[in-house]
């Protein structure tokens, strides 16, 4: 009898020790690791250096009845007309077309002594790097490639260095001077080729 009471007392003591431990284990939640967030990659907006014409640029055909020609120019550029021609501008980019009377087809020598000499007097910074005869869909022409100083900034007075492609075409006693200008270092080869190769005489 005494042994039974001792065993019962021991069982009750063990239960009294285990029950709080079990309850504590059930009520204590394990620590939760902080949620990790994964930043989704973002695509940076496409940017273009000053003067670059984007590959997505659309072109529209401009026709000059007085000049007797048409050509494609960048869509959305501002347009300024004069007695002898038209100029399309976007920031520091420019497409200028002038028509003049010319009794003979342009040659490298005539462009050097004529158009380029006139530009050099107006802009002493002109430096010719290429001067050669070329053939385009509109016919033979002379290409002059040169750098020049742009117009002075109204605020800083700084003059941006420009790179230029100048084409002189001739047909039927007329000469057409196409000048394409942009800040030095611009990547406009494809756009300028589009304009130059789109010329059509009327």
What are the tens digits of pLDDT across the range 84-119?
999 999 988 999 999 998 778 999 999 999 999 999
Burial of 190 (0-12, 13-18, 19+ CB in 10 A): exposed
Between CA 168 and CA 142 the distance in angstroms is 5
Share of the chain above pLDDT 90, in %: 59
Give the mean pLDDT of the chain. 82
Q: Which long-range contacts (CB under 8 A, 24 or more apart) does 107-110 make?
A: 107/133, 107/142, 108/132, 108/133, 108/142, 110/142
Per CATH, the number for 79-186 is: 3.40.1000.10
| pLDDT, average across residues 173-198 | 96
Q: pTM (2 decimals)?
A: 0.74
Kindly provide the b/e burial profile for residues 148-173, where b requires at least 16 CB atoms within 10 angstroms of the residue's own CB.
bebeeeeeeeeebebbbbbbbbbeee
Between CA 68 and CA 35 the distance in angstroms is 71
Angle at 18 between CA 16 and CA 24, to 5 degrees: 110
Task: Using the predicted structure, report yes or no on whether residue 31 has a pLDDT greater than 60.
Answer: no
Tokens of 11: 């069982």
Q: For the chain, what are the domain ranges?
A: 79-186
């Amino acid at each position: 009898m005494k042994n039974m009471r001792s065993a019962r007392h021991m069982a009750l003591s063990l239960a009294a020790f285990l029950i709080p431990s079990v309850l504590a284990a059930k009520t204590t939640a394990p620590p939760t690791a902080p949620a990790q967030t994964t930043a989704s990659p973002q695509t940076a907006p496409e940017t273009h250096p000053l003067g670059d014409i984007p590959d997505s640029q659309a072109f529209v055909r401009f026709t000059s009845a007085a000049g007797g020609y048409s050509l494609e120019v960048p869509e959305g550029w501002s347009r300024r007309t004069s007695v002898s021609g038209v100029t399309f501008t976007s920031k520091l980019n420019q497409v200028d077309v002038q028509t003049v009377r010319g009794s003979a087809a342009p040659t490298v020598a005539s462009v050097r002594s004529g158009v380029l000499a006139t530009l050099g007097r107006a802009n002493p910074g002109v430096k010719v790097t290429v001067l050669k005869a070329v053939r385009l869909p509109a016919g033979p022409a002379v290409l002059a490639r040169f750098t020049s100083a742009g117009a002075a900034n109204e605020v800083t007075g700084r003059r941006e260095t420009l790179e230029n492609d100048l084409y002189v075409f001739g047909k039927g006693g007329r000469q057409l001077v196409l000048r394409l200008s942009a800040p030095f270092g611009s990547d406009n080869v494809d756009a300028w080729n589009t304009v130059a190769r789109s010329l059509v005489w009327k």
